[in-house]
């Protein structure tokens, strides 16, 4: 099996992990392909350049590295094994300490592949011509940039204008992304198996806006009103483009799901409690006596 | 076709509507069956006593009357035509003014039947014996009663304890109910076609709780912690029971969807804007110049 | 100095604390007066019956016991030393372990007395006749009771009707109470020295309601609309009365502040972080790499 | 009396208003001084260049123009008469239709001058050297710019570090500003006479953050953590500067209040209802029957 490896160089333990990986790969029948930065550290193996080269992807870092890996695959449906070098992630399958065992289980086929809905989005210029497109596992965000305070959009769902409002921005999120930026902006937590598109306004001016959970098959369009304001489109909080009044962002469910490797153990709710402190009894509980 | 009719006597126009309905029913091939209160006003027709008697249900009132009608049907999958005698409802199909036309279109089969997920719930006593059960189209709410301020529950999803917390209550809602009490408690708006169960805590003590959107096939259990507090279970805000520490509320998707009659015209988003003011440009928008 | 002592019998350590207190009081010049329940445990000392009997009050329990102590004093401005037998409180001055030292410092005058604004409230019947009145350090809450879901009020500030709305209830809170029920209902945290009255709606039906911070000198009136619904007025989450449509709740700043004993050390913000987890870096922070 | 006049050229009616103003000013004993843009339209009068030139200020536009006027005065305590050329403002005293009457009443001294607390802020570079300073009537906002998603700050109140957190930004608001950006970010509405500084986080990562109302006399410092992210400081949503990791924003109550002219009539709560729809009965209220 040909396995792509991408990683975040900011983690101290990365070279050691790469060393172990190179040691055990041949015995497990894994051929490793490294992205440029890791290849320079590994000093051996092939270079990872296109998604078609691989049957699986290992990501060494946190959830952000896995998000980047999913974008790299660009719709190719091979499993992604996230090895967490930081704190517990929502998307990673095992910690750095468990990584050797994780890789062995993966190679033996002893894992579950969890399909996660992704989003395809593109920016259309004023003439309706597509000028950029992206895949994202978490979210697509249209947000004011610079000093502008009043940005107005109109949101369309399947070509019905559902609302026009002023805000800092709008998060269009997958269920996977619902625990990310959408949550910070006041959105609900959507269990990943509830296929849907979540629209969460960021600091809306009107008090009456609320997050909206849409069916997965709709097409969401967001058209920025004319104006001099600088806008930004951000994909998974990592890449993006500037955007101007009159342009339109189009978002829909991606054709292929992203395949996340899971080992039995922690559930979604366990991760929710550990990472967000969700659901615990608070200190206020002792107050009334 | 045998049509059950239920209604809310509080509306001034009710007797006139009943008169018209009795006039036009024979010509449309409709046999009318009235619930006790309406039968006393109509002074003719049959009495409506069980859901098995009817092929369709007309509800004369608002969304609340339709919710009551759905409970009356108790899983029988016949279409419900909601005739709104008050303000625009989320569930009703036509206003009192349009009612004659609405009934004629319904009789001619010129309508869409929109399936809406419902909930089945039951209360188990401390020995796990079911002592009450209900069907609801909007929500099941476990809420403190009386002067108690601290009520603690543990919430289970498919027998996994996902959180223990103190709050005023917990709303277990369908997508249809997401624009009702769940919204007041801070929940998201879920488009009715996104089958799911929404858990929205009411005034939780811990700051870290957030509404949760679950897949429709899970079983939700809420166990009230031991204690002297009085608790209430409320079904669609209309009926319910008292509940005590150690008892368990069990909620799952009902076997059959409720069939709501729709005529083309207003969409879900139109109703959202009209009823909730959702999505409009606010007055703050003029502020920065 | 004559010191009243009240306490919560639910704490295991209470008898030992009382024993120590009885031992050291004479040497510190303190004469102890116990409320009925504690007097039965202490088996000596005087009985505490009216606020006029004492020059200071010790409360053995949590914040709730201190709230009860403040109500007992009913406006008498003597210092309250809260000895916490549970988890860290917002109002208590020292833990059970530190209590002996705390009492010695108190007796030596080595403390700060922190004035906390309180509320006076009363219920007026339909004829405008006062039928109950209370003092509260945290809050006065008007809340639906029983199965009712729709409760409507009109809120007046200095006799101006500022809003009419439907909700589960309304919290009228002091700054001290802003970290209590008001916070659960979505209210802001108000530092105790910002004298003000905070109005926080509980699960309002309209999306446009927001918590409101009013000047301390205003008179707030809440009139429940006519209707059959059962309503409750709750004082500091501990005592209260039933309330009916047409009755009016009147709330204003109490004439005298409550005097809370503080020893230098933890600040308000420290307590906020410890009790509520406020202000800490979250687990989401690692996500983007 | 010497009156400065500033205005927003975007309003169609501006030249007509200026014409009328020029006609009636001599008879009312008013000498008009125009800012550059208006002077070009008025084609007469003096040029307004410094706050010391005037005994009063007229602002022709919306709340934003009045905010700009307050900044122009830079602490000089002369009354500001806001003439609203758009929709009802929170700060303006009269509409364009009422303007002539408003000016006459103002000239006759028939008005109330409402003092509004303002903020002074400055940016300190890494060496603690002040490099910019501003006056603001609404708010000072530290916000991420560009594509960065994770911005970390530490907030200090009177040199106590009260929290470190990640967010899109932080709003430091006056009571006047509490109905502006702070409200969009989830802050409370603070009646202008409750002197205080409101801290409202914008899309914080941790679920446990809540808006905080501080006493007016504290000094708030916000230090951006080291990092490559681009940050912006925005003053009343209108002007500002870029900001970098390691720099510190210092905010405190301004020495002088801003004097806003009011004519008896609409109250703060009236404006709240008209502009924000606050406090009205919602459409959900009809639902339960």
Question: Which tens digits make up the pLDDT trace of A93-128?
Answer: 998 889 999 999 999 999 999 999 999 999 999 999
Chain B closest CA to D127's CA: distance in Å? Answer: 34
Residue B89: per-residue pLDDT: 83
pLDDT score of D286 more than 50: no
CA nearest neighbour of D261 among D76, D138, D136, D114: D114
The confidence score (pLDDT) of residue D145 equals 82
- pLDDT of res. B145: 82
What are A237's strand-pairing partners? none
Looking only at the bridges linking them, the beta strands covering D258-262 and D79-84 are parallel
D278: chain C residues, CB-CB within 8 Å? 163, 208-210
pLDDT value of residue D135 = 96
Size of interface A-B (CB pairs under 8 A): 156
Higher model confidence: residue B165 or residue B103?
B103
Give the distance from residue B38's alpha carbon to the nearest chain D alpha carbon, in angstroms: 15
First CA to last CA distance, chain D: 62
Quick check: D146 contacting A, CB < 8 Å?
A: yes
Mark B41-77 as b/e (b = at least 16 C-beta within 10 Å). Answer: ebeebeebeebeebebbbbbbbbbbbbbbbbbbeebe
Chains in contact with C, counting 3 or more C-beta pairs less than 8 Å apart as contact:
A, B, D
Looking at the partner chain, which of D193, D209, D284 has a beta carbon nearest the beta carbon of C215? D193
By Cβ distance, the residue of A267, A269, A279 closest to B209 is A279
pLDDT reading at D1 higher than 70: yes
Residue B88: its pLDDT value, please? 67
Distance CA C46, CA C58 (A): 14
CA atoms within 13 A on the CB side of D181: 30
Q: Residue A285 has what pLDDT?
A: 38
D212 touches chain C (CB under 8 A): yes
Q: Kindly state the percentage of chain C with pLDDT values over 70.
A: 94
Taking an 8 Å cut-off on Cβ atoms, the answer to whether D239 and A183 are in contact is no
Q: Looking at beta carbons, which residues of chain B come within 8 Å of A173? A: none
Contact residues, chain C, for D164 at CB < 8 Å: 279-281
Residue D238 has pLDDT above 60, yes or no: yes
Q: CB-CB: which of B180, B209, B288 is closest to D64? A: B288
Query: Residue C288: closest CA among chain A residues belongs to which residue?
Result: A64
> Closest chain D residue to B208 measured between Cα atoms?
D207
Q: 3-class DSSP state for residue B126?
A: coil
Model pTM score: 0.94
CB contact under 8 A, B213 and A194: yes
Interface of B with A in 250-269 (CB under 8 A): 267, 269
Cα-Cα-Cα-Cα torsion B174, B176, B179, B182, nearest 10 degrees, comes to -10
Domains defined for chain C, CATH in brackets: 2-117+257-276 (3.40.50.10330), 119-253 (2.60.200.30)
CB spacing of D213 vs C193 below 8 angstroms = no
* pLDDT at site C208: 74
CA–CA gap between residue C191 and residue D208 (Å, rounded): 17
Q: Report yes or no: C185 at the B interface, CB cutoff 8 Å.
A: yes
Highest mean pLDDT among A142-156, B121-135, D84-98, D217-231: B121-135
Residue A281, pLDDT > 50, answer no
Predicted local distance difference test score (pLDDT) of residue A118:
98
Whether residue A275 is predicted with pLDDT greater than 90 in this model: the reply is no
- C168 annotated to a ligand binding site: yes
Per-residue confidence (pLDDT) for residue A286, from 0 to 100: 37
* B63 a catalytic residue: yes
pLDDT of A12 strictly over 90: no
C187-237 per-position pLDDT tens digit: 999 999 999 999 999 999 877 789 999 999 999 999 988 776 788 999 999
User: Is it the case that residue C283 has pLDDT exceeding 80?
Assistant: no
Band of pLDDT at residue D181, cut at 50, 70 and 90: very high
Q: Quick check: B287 and D210 CB within 8 A?
A: no
Chains touching A (at least 3 CB pairs under 8 A) are B, C, D
B284 neighbourhood in chain A, CB within 8 Å: 166, 205-206
CA distance A224 to chain C (A): 25
* Candidates D145, D202, D232; nearest CB to A203: D202
Cβ atoms within 10 Å, residue B1? 14
N-term to C-term CA, chain B? 62
Lowest mean pLDDT among B113-122, B126-135, B190-199, D116-125: B126-135
> Quick one: pLDDT at residue B276?
74
Running DSSP on this structure, what letter comes out for residue C71?
H
In this structure, are strands A79-84 and A94-95 parallel, antiparallel, or unpaired?
parallel
ipTM for the complex? 0.93
Structure tokens at C148: 């009712």
Q: Which of C190, C207, C143 is nearest to C171 (CA)?
A: C143
Going by C-alpha positions, the residue among C151, C133, C152 that lies closest to residue C71 is C133
Q: Give residue D228's pLDDT band: very low, low, confident or very high (50, 70, 90).
A: low
Q: Which residues on A lie below 8 Å from B214 (Cβ)?
A: 191, 194
Closest partner residue to B208 (CB to CB) among A188, A198, A278 is A278
Average pLDDT over residues B44-65: 95
pLDDT of residue A159 exceeding 60: yes
φ/ψ (deg, to 5) at B182: -55, -40
- Could you read off the pLDDT of D143-159 as tens digits, one per residue? 988 776 678 889 999 99
Give the distance from residue D232's alpha carbon to the nearest chain C alpha carbon, in angstroms.
Answer: 20
Residues flagged as binding site of B for NAD(+): 63-64, 68, 138-139, 149, 168, 179-184, 238
Report yes or no: B235 at the C interface, CB cutoff 8 Å.
no
Q: Does D203 touch chain C (CB under 8 A)?
A: no
Residue A236 at interface with chain D, using a CB cutoff of 8 Å: no
State whether residue A163 sits within 8 Å of chain C by CB: no
The residue from C23, C37, C63, C159 that is catalytic is C63
With an 8 Å Cβ cutoff, is C8 touching chain B?
A: no
Max mean pLDDT among A242-251, A264-273, B193-202 falls in B193-202
Whether residue C74 is annotated as binding a ligand: the answer is no
- Give the range with max mean pLDDT: B67-81, C84-98, D35-49: B67-81
Per-residue pLDDT for D218 more than 90? Answer: yes
- Residue-level pLDDT at B171: 97
- pLDDT-based confidence at residue C280 (cuts at 50, 70, 90): low
Give residue B244's pLDDT: 86
Cα separation, D195 vs D179, in Å, equals 14
Find out whether A236 is annotated in a ligand binding site: no
In this complex, which of A203, A208, A237 lies closest to D184 when CB atoms are compared?
A203
B44 in A contact zone (CB under 8 Å):
no
In sequence order, what are the residues at sequence separation of 6 or more whose Cβ sits closer than 8 angstroms to the Cβ of residue D40?
none
pLDDT at position D284, please?
A: 39
Q: What is the pLDDT of residue B228?
A: 67
Given the DSSP bridges, would you call strands A220-224 and A248-253 parallel, antiparallel or unpaired? Answer: antiparallel
At B120, the pLDDT band (50, 70, 90 cuts) reads: very high
> How far A111 CA sits from the closest chain B CA (Å)?
21
Contacts of A189 in chain B (CB under 8 A): 210-213
pLDDT value at residue A88: 67
Asked if A4 is an interface residue toward chain D (Cβ–Cβ < 8 A), one would say no
Mean predicted lDDT score pLDDT of chain B: 90
Burial of D26 (0-12, 13-18, 19+ CB in 10 A): exposed
Q: Is B189 within 8 Å of A279 when comparing Cβ atoms?
A: no
Per-residue pLDDT, D279? 64
D275: closest chain C residue by CA = C208
Confidence of residue B178 (pLDDT cuts 50, 70, 90): very high
Residue B206 has pLDDT above 50, yes or no: yes
In angstroms, the CA D14 to CA B49 distance is 70
Average pLDDT over residues D15-31: 95
Nearest-10 crossing angle of helices A99-107, A14-24: 30
Q: How many angstroms separate the CA atoms of B201 and B205, rounded?
A: 10
Residues C115-134, mean pLDDT to the nearest whole number: 94
Among candidates B149, B184, B185 on the partner chain, residue whose Cβ is nearest the Cβ of C181: B149
Chain C partners within 8 Å of A277 (Cβ):
277
Higher pLDDT, A60 or A164: A60
**C149 labeled binding residue:** yes
Is the CB of residue B171 less than 8 Å from the CB of residue B185?
Answer: yes
pLDDT of residue B205: 85
The conformational region for residue B77 under phi > 0 = left, psi -120 to 50 = alpha, else beta, is beta
pLDDT at A279 over 70: no
Of D145, D168, D184, the CB nearest to A145: D145
CA B21 to chain centroid = 25
- Tell me if B48 sits within 8 A of B33, measured CB to CB: yes
Neighbouring CB atoms inside 10 A of B198's CB total: 27
Mean pLDDT of B13-26: 94
Contact D257, D117 (CB under 8 A): yes
Q: What Å distances lie between residue A216 and B1, B45, B194, B278, D236, CA to CA?
A: 37, 46, 8, 21, 39
Which pLDDT belongs to residue D79? 98
C11 is in an annotated binding site: no
Give the pLDDT mean for B56-72.
96
Q: How much is the pLDDT for C12? A: 85
Rounded distance between C-alpha atoms, residue C283 and residue B178, angstroms: 29
Q: Do D207 and A278 touch (CB under 8 A)?
A: yes
Rounded-to-integer distance, Cα C30 and Cα C53, Å: 13
Is D163 touching B (CB cutoff 8 A)? no
Residues in B closer than 8 angstroms to D87, CB to CB, are 283, 286
A178: its two tokens: 């619902």
Q: DSSP secondary-structure letter at B168?
A: S
Give the pLDDT score at D281: 44
């Amino acid at each position: 099996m040909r396995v792509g490896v991408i990683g975040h160089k900011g983690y101290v333990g990365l070279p050691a992990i790469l060393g172990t990986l190179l040691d055990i790969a041949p015995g497990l029948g894994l051929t490793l392909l490294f992205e440029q930065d890791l290849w320079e550290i590994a000093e051996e193996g092939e270079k990872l350049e296109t998604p078609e080269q691989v049957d699986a992807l290992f990501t060494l870092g946190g959830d952000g590295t896995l998000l980047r890996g999913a974008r790299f695959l660009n719709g190719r449906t091979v499993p992604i094994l996230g090895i967490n070098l930081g704190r517990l992630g929502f998307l990673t399958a095992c910690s750095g300490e468990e990584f050797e065992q994780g890789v062995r289980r993966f190679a033996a086929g002893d894992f579950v592949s969890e399909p996660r809905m992704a989003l395809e989005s593109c920016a259309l210029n004023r003439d309706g011509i597509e000028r950029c497109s992206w895949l994202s596992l978490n979210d697509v965000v249209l947000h004011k940039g610079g000093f502008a305070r009043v940005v107005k959009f109109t949101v369309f769902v399947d070509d019905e204008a559902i609302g026009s409002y002023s805000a800092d921005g709008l998060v269009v999120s997958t269920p996977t992304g619902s625990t990310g930026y959408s949550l910070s902006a006041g959105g609900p937590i959507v269990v990943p198996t509830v296929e849907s598109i979540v629209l969460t306004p960021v600091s809306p001016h009107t008090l009456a806006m609320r997050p909206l959970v849409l069916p997965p098959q709709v097409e969401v369009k967001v058209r920025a009103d004319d104006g001099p304001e600088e806008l930004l489109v951000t994909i998974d909080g990592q890449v993006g483009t500037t955007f101007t009044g009159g342009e339109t962002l189009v978002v829909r469910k991606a054709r292929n799901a992203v395949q996340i490797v899971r080992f039995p153990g922690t559930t979604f709710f366990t991760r929710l409690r550990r990472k967000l402190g969700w659901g615990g009894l608070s200190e206020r509980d002792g107050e009334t006596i």
